């Protein structure tokens, strides 16, 4: 035999025990892959269902937000109609009934308004459009509500537009004068 020639080993057929072990390992591998694919499909189904509900919720939210401005105008007009006389009060009663129906539609879809007066300012619920120096209320307290806020479920869909109390400037200067200097 020359050096370039190497002895050829005949491959032996696998023993029945090792063939069984190989098949068992392959079976376990395929079973694991199947279970992973099944779990992935279930997670995808749940994610798609959740995304569908969220998309519907946001669609409802967008429509509701668009309706809130006309409802605000309705409320303002009816507030001014309280001072009117004659046929206008009859018309106002009819419009008030329509407004109540609109409010009920909002409630039926999980939308509720909230009052902000005398509450501490919360940027998640309020949009500060003005400040007012008020010594009689704590700083950061809502002292006037220009426009009601609304929530859908637990989420604010339109923050209330409010005026917030601040410390009077004379209080700030007197507090600075009474503080000991650090010299």
pLDDT in tens, 115-162: 999 999 999 999 999 999 999 999 999 999 999 999 988 889 999 999
Q: How far apart are CA 146 and CA 72, in angstroms?
A: 10
Confidence of residue 39 (pLDDT cuts 50, 70, 90): very high
Task: Name the residue among 119, 169, 174 with its Cα closest to residue 148.
Answer: 119
Q: Please choose, from the candidates 133, 164, 122, 124, the residue with its C-alpha nearest in 3D space to the C-alpha of residue 146.
A: 164
Q: Is the pLDDT of residue 1 over 90?
A: no
Are 127 and 85 a contacting pair, CB within 8 Å? no
CATH of 111-176, one of 2.30.22.10, 2.40.160.60, 3.40.1000.10, 2.40.160.10: 2.30.22.10
Domain ranges within the chain, ordered by starting residue: 22-109, 111-176
Calculate the average pLDDT of the chain: 85
pTM equals 0.64
């Amino acid at each position: 035999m020359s050096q370039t020639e190497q002895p050829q080993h005949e491959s032996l057929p696998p023993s029945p025990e090792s063939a069984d072990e190989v098949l068992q390992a392959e079976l376990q591998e395929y079973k694991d892959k199947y279970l992973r694919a099944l779990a992935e499909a279930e997670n995808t189904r749940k994610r798609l269902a959740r995304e569908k509900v969220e998309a519907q919720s946001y669609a409802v939210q967008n429509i509701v937000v668009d309706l809130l401005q006309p409802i605000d105008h309705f409320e303002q007009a009816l507030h001014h109609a309280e001072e009117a006389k004659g046929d206008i009060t009859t018309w106002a009663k009819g419009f008030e009934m329509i407004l109540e129906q609109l409010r009920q539609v909002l409630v039926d879809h999980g939308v509720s308004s909230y009052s902000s007066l005398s509450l501490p300012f919360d940027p998640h619920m309020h949009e500060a459009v003005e400040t007012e120096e008020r010594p009689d209320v704590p700083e950061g307290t809502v002292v006037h509500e220009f426009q009601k806020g609304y929530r859908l479920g637990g989420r604010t869909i339109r923050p209330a537009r409010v005026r917030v109390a601040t410390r009077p400037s004379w209080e700030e200067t007197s507090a600075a004068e009474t503080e000991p200097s650090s010299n």
